[in-house]
Amino acid sequence: VQLVESGGGLVQAGGSLRLSCAASGRTLSTYDMGWFRQTPGKKRDFVAAITRNDGSTYYADSVKGRFTISRANAKTTAYLPLNSLPPADTAVYSCAAQPQAPYYLPLYPYWGPGTQVTVSS
């Protein structure tokens, strides 16, 4: 499966963005999916995940209540609305599919190239 993110950009603190992850090759319902983010010189951090079977969702503590992972009915696109953004949320956000380990570890074989989110103060 090929993944491509979109929806990143520059936003002021307190603002919102909606990230999308489009899949080609297979529907996302086949995979557990995750979103991660990374800033230069730092490791890739878990943001959110959604399971393929019952759609259970999981979030990093830092984004609970502000971000909501979901999949479209056609299940070829996953979404991650970002709300109440502080500058600390600035990062490259990447979606991933089919975790080979617990969902919060970046051990997924399929990754999108990422989309930059920049939150200005």
pLDDT of 27 > 80? The answer is no
Beta bridge partners of 47: none
The C-alpha atoms of residue 32 and residue 119 are separated, in whole angstroms, by: 28
Query: Would you call 12 helix, strand, or coil by DSSP?
Result: strand
Give the H or E element holding residue 62: none
Most confident of 29-33, 74-78, 98-102, 109-113: 109-113
Would you state the structure tokens that stand for residue 45, as one six-digit string? 């951090």
What average pLDDT does this structure show over 67-92? Answer: 90
**pLDDT class for 80, splitting at 50, 70, 90?**
very high
What average pLDDT does this structure show over 67-89? Answer: 89
Q: Where are the beta strands (DSSP E) in 31-90?
A: 33-38, 45-50, 57-59, 70-71, 77-82
Contact 15, 9 (CB under 8 A): no
Would you state the structure tokens that stand for residue 59, as one six-digit string? 């979030």
**pLDDT class for 74, splitting at 50, 70, 90?**
low
Residue 87 phi/psi, 5° resolution?
A: -55, -30
Question: Can you give the pLDDT at residue 104?
Answer: 92
Of 76, 29, 25, give the one whose Cα is nearest residue 55.
Answer: 29
